[in-house]
Each structure stands twice: as C-alpha cells, then as structure tokens.
Amino acid sequence: MDKRRILIQIDADAHASVFDRVVAVDAGAEQLFSYAGVKPEQVQALVHGAIFTRGPKDLKHTAIFVGGSDVGAAEKLMHEALKHMLPNFGLRVSIMLDANGANTTAAAAVRAAARHLTLQGAPALVLGGTGPVGQRVARLLAREGSHVRVGSRQQARAAAVCRDIAARVPNALLQPVEVASDADLSAAITGQTLVIAAGAAGVVLLPKAARAACPTLKVAIELNAVPPVGIEGVGVMDKAVNQGGVLCYGAIGVGDTKMKVHKAAVAALFESNDKVLDAEEIYALAQQF
C-alpha cells in the first residue's frame, strides 16, 4: 500500500501560514506537519526526520514546503534544508520555496504576459523590481530573453538586483532604472511593450497619464491587490481586459493562475523525491495553464 502523502511545512513566522496550509490540503497533501518560527539551526533535525523514516523508494511520499512572509528568511531555511539531504544514498525529499507567494506570483505574472507577447526580445519594465516578487519577475523575464528594465526608487538597489540576476542568468539583458520622479518614469517606460508592477501594497507606481503616454505598451500587469493599485485604472479582477489597446491584468486576474500553479507545484513534489522547486521550476510548471 502506498504511504500517505506528508507535507512538512517550514515557516519562519510565529504562525505557519494558513493560506499555505489550505492550498497544501487542496493540492493533495494527506498529512500536513506545520512548523512555525523555524530558525536555520533547527532545520537539520526536521530534514533528518523526513529522510530517515521512510526508505528511498517511499520518500516521494514525503515533501517539504518552505513558506512564511519573509522571503529572505525562507531562502535561508531552504538553503539549510538542501544542505542536510543525502542524495548519494537516495535519502532526500522534494522541496519547494514559495514564501509570501513570491515564486508562484512571479511565475503566473510572466505566464500571463507570455500569452500575449513573444517574450524573447521584448522590452519589459518591472516596477517595484527590487522586492521579492519583482526580482523573480525580472529573473524569469531575463531567462526568456526579454530586455528587462528593473525599476526602483534608488538606482543602486536596481543595480544590485541586476547584478544578482546576471550572476544567475547568462547573457541576461538587464538595465537598472531609477524611478523616483515623473520624468524618470516617462523615460523608463518609453519603448516598452510590457510593464509588470510588483510594488508594495497600496502604492501607485504607474499613473494613468504615464501609461497613456506610452504608445508601444501592449500588456500591463499589476500584482498589488490593495487599493490604490500600482497601475492606476487597472481593476484587481482584470484578466486581459483591453484598455485603449493595452491588455491589462489585475492582481486577482493573475491570482487565478497563481493558485493553479501553487497547487500543481505542491502536487509535483509527490511525483519523485528529488525535486527542488524555486522560481524557474515553478515557472516551468506554469506553462500548462
């Protein structure tokens, strides 16, 4: 008889994410072991509990989900978890990172853009490009061969993100852009066919007039659901809504695909015991939607 599917949720927050727990159940996890407030030095024991209990042939029925609201903290937990797997002996379990929904949201946003544009060679501006979601959006676009402008209020922050992506993505076409004034914004959006806004909740990054003044723009994707939204005039529910020739997506419009991707990724963890699902692998799963 097949073993029950156990998902081990590792979360740095005081309370393990209810959102991630609900999705885990809906994605087919039969048992959910949730650990909150996890620190890197506590990960080894959790991983050992996962890999030393079932034999290698049954380890695909155990998996780890790393979540929580702090993406940086989750990345450290993921790194630590991978360190303590023993792949040479087949003693490993599949693992996925989706802290704050950053990977699944970025994957869904880039997938939405790809429905309407050839991303290879597309000039694309990522507003709020220094946050966890924006960085992943920029990275995925760079992997697709887009000419990516990474926007930030501070040039140095945008440049740091570009350096990080360039180190991961050979031949990435990246340009850091400071977007601290209306004139900066106008220069940053000029010639772009795609804009993805991944700014902080409740902050307008692209006013209507600036969007209207960009005749090359074809697709505008907004990821902030908290009013006011980042791309002024885009409805949170919008899904490829044509506004003056620009196809617009709002946060919930993208969220439908995000949820499908999140569930598909959790389900994929139980297909084998060697999956490591980060932004790129989750984006690959998004291609089916």
Which residues contact ligand NAP (rule: CB under 6 A)? 100-101, 105, 128, 130-134, 152-154, 157, 198-201, 203, 223-225, 251, 254-255, 258
Phi-psi category of residue 128: left, alpha or beta, with phi > 0 → left and psi -120 to 50 → alpha? left
Task: Give 251 or 269: the residue with its C-beta nearer to ligand NAP.
Answer: 251
- Least Å from the CB of residue 176 to ligand NAP: 10
Task: Give 158 or 172: the residue with its C-beta nearer to ligand NAP.
Answer: 158
- Least Å from the CB of residue 96 to ligand NAP: 15
Rounded CA separation 101/227 (Å): 19
Task: Give 93 or 205: the residue with its C-beta nearer to ligand NAP.
Answer: 205
CA of 45: how far to CAs of 15, 83, 85, 179, 247, in Å? 19, 12, 11, 45, 48
Rounded CA separation 169/178 (Å): 22
Neighbours of 219 (CB within 10 A): 22
- Least Å from the CB of residue 28 to ligand NAP: 21
**Tokens encoding 288:** 């089916």
CA of 199: how far to CAs of 129, 147, 205, 286, in Å? 7, 20, 7, 22
Q: Residue 26 contacts by C-beta under 8 Å, 6 or more apart in sequence?
A: 263
- Least Å from the CB of residue 160 to ligand NAP: 9
Task: Give 6 or 148: the residue with its C-beta nearer to ligand NAP.
Answer: 148
- Least Å from the CB of residue 214 to ligand NAP: 19
Task: Give 131 or 233: the residue with its C-beta nearer to ligand NAP.
Answer: 131
